[in-house]
Chains A and B, each alone.
Chain A
Amino acid sequence: MSNQSGILVVAEPKDGKLANVTLESITQARALAGGPVSVVVAAAETAPYVAAAGRYGADRVYVVESPEAAVFRPGPFIDVVAAAVAAAEPALILCAGSPDGRDIAAGCAARLGAGLLVDITGLEAKDDGFVTTHPCFGGTVIVDKDATSTPVVATVRPNVFAREEAPKEPEVVNLSVDFAPAGLLAKVLDVVCENLGIVSLEEASVIVAGGRGVGKAENFKLIEELASELGAAVGASRAIVDEGWVPHQIQVGQTGKTVSPQLYIACGISGAIQHAAGMRTAKNIVAINRDPEAAIFNFADYGVVGDLLTIVPALTEEIRKRKAAS
């Protein structure tokens, strides 16, 4: 066996907080590290992230504070993680299952010549490494994998592992990194926030999604109002993205986002296989659809046959009343 041990979690900074999937990864790492749990974070200012990593029980935090790391770019972030791997010598490197996390994980694995395990929903230790679980083909097949060498790099699907605080004063190690010139060639011109306050779809524990059944673009606000009452993210089927009623960022499915929330409320969505591919692994699915034969009812945990144009606003009202009463 190699002398690599412990787990390195690559933090995903998000407006002063750590992404939930990072906290979930630290929590899971603590349960089975067999060695120290380290976190590496790169940002323009790292203090809040270091504090959050400590709150969730990281033993050590590697810090790179640099203006080059203010906005994500694959090159410099891969440089940072490679430096942390050299310092920590972990057996496993966990990255966020997000666009940034995938770029980092894939680039790092290529640089280290390491195995790459993508989109894990299960992680167990065994004598000489780890076994990971992956949903494949839109969740229709579940595969267990392992790596034949260490270290190994993995990306973690958000919302699958629990997140528990376990406060600790972590050791903080400042890393100095020489950024490779190629990665710095990409220059950030502008950061544009059009949807401020939007709940991240991939990280959301509740999603309210609308399909063609909403009837017309204006009615989508019914979906948004229910989502806002539930503190949920909004999703959509491709049908209404293609209609131009909603932006494509919120499309769920085979050619959109893959989500695993605790609760998915599908309103006026038929439940086509390409839509199901992106949401079948939700813990609970509630469906509202006028057509009793709609495919979505074949896999929804709770289904209501009826008109969403009356049920959704009534549901928003019920939730509001319930919140007011408590």
Chain B
Amino acid sequence: MNIAVCVKQVIDTEAEKKLDPASWRLDRNVTCILNPYDEYAVEEALRIKEAHGGEVTAVCMGPKKAEDAVRKALAMGADKGVIVTDDALAGSDAQATAYVLAEALKGVEWDLVIFGVRSTDGETGCVPAAVAERLGVPLLSTLAKVEVQGSNISVHRETEQGYVAYECPTPAVISVIKGINEPRYPSMKGIMGAKKKPIDAKDASALSLDTSQVGQSGSKTRVLSARTPEPRKAGEKIEDDGTGAQKIVEFLASQKLV
């Protein structure tokens, strides 16, 4: 089974997030990492490949430096990469991103596309469903278990109460959550090998993208303003002298919370 994994490069949580007040774009000149959720997606793809054969392609849209995220997927064991980079794509929102990824995926051989459940900077969790809709194939999201049986997949979708089990033929699009597996660390050999694996760099014209649908101007949502909220201040702090529990109840009562 051939698998495409969509991987995004995100800004490290610990790095300061700055929005440029002229464009409201994120300053990406800080430490960037492979989106933590996408590590689960790559791992799941590799496990399926190891059990059933096929090729794993990591697909990414992002600036030139996002190639590092693709290299990480290759170092983990993916076979090849596709990266879509173009100035025209900067500032794309979730729908515009989904359009670009769907077009990029049309040039890749896959039976299954695996996404992380959400990106830790965009945080929409909406790209997988939008891509599935554009590709016209079924979507199963937030999966905690995936098994391949022939050309079908059998999966568990997490719910508050437990899970729902589904079966679905491929081609299909899925997204996976933390807990589905334990992502491997790239080995030294993997890291060295990744340097030689092919990454196909594409721009908007190579994919014949309709540029009126991408980038900041092609996005149907726009940022009007951004602000840093008043930082939460430290409230009262007391030392427990045996009355800590009572004091908490008094606080809760004063706030009408009990």
Interface of B is mostly: mixed
On whether A106 and B249 interact (CB within 8 A), knowing A71-B164, A263-B257, the answer reads: no
Q: Does residue A286 face the partner (Cβ distance < 8 Å to B)?
A: yes
> Which secondary structure characterizes the binding site on chain A?
mixed
Shortest Cβ gap from A136 to chain B (Å): 7
How many residues on B have C-beta within 8 angstroms of the other chain's C-beta atoms? 81
Write the nearest CB–CB distance from A56 to chain B, whole angstroms. 22
B150 contacts A by Cβ under 8 Å = no
With A75-B138, A189-B154 in contact, is A146–B224 under 8 Å at CB? yes
A315 at the interface (CB under 8 A from B): yes
In angstroms, Cα B120 to Cα A183, docked, is: 28
Per the bound structure, the CA–CA distance linking A196 and B160 in Å amounts to 9
Interface residues of A in 15-57 (CB under 8 A from B): none
Residues of chain B with a CB closer than 8 A to A230's CB:
258
* Inter-chain contact B129/A103, CB cutoff 8 Å: yes
Provide the residues of chain A in CB contact with B172, threshold 8 Å: 185-186
Complex: how many Å from CA A189 to CA B223?
42
Are B164 and A187 touching (Cβ within 8 A)? no
- Of all chain B residues, the one with the shortest Cβ separation from A255 is B178
Is residue A228 within 8 Å, beta carbon to beta carbon, of the partner chain? no
Please name all residues of chain A whose beta carbon is closer than 8 Å to the beta carbon of B185 when the two chains form the complex. none
**A residues within 8 A CB of B154?**
189
- A275: min CB distance to chain B, Å: 11
Encode contact with B along A298-323: 1 for CB under 8 Å, 0 otherwise: 11111111110011101101110010
B220 interface contact, C-beta 8 A: yes
In the complex, how many angstroms separate the beta carbon of B168 from the nearest chain A beta carbon?
4
Contact A318-B235, Cβ < 8 Å, known A75-B139, A147-B221? no
Q: Contact check: which of B14, B169, B235 meets A273 at CB < 8 Å?
A: B14
What 13 additional pairs, Cβ within 8 angstroms, besides A74-B129, A230-B258? Answer: A99-B142, A115-B93, A115-B219, A135-B229, A145-B221, A148-B220, A256-B178, A273-B13, A297-B234, A299-B231, A304-B237, A304-B239, A315-B244
The residues of A with any CB-CB pair to B shorter than 8 Å are 71-75, 78, 99, 102-107, 109-111, 113-119, 131, 135-149, 152, 155, 182-183, 185-196, 198, 200-201, 206, 230, 241, 248-249, 251, 254-256, 258, 262-263, 265, 273-274, 277, 280, 284-286, 288, 292, 297-307, 310-312, 314-315, 317-319, 322
Q: Which 4 A-B pairs have the closest CB atoms?
A: A306-B240, A115-B220, A314-B245, A106-B129
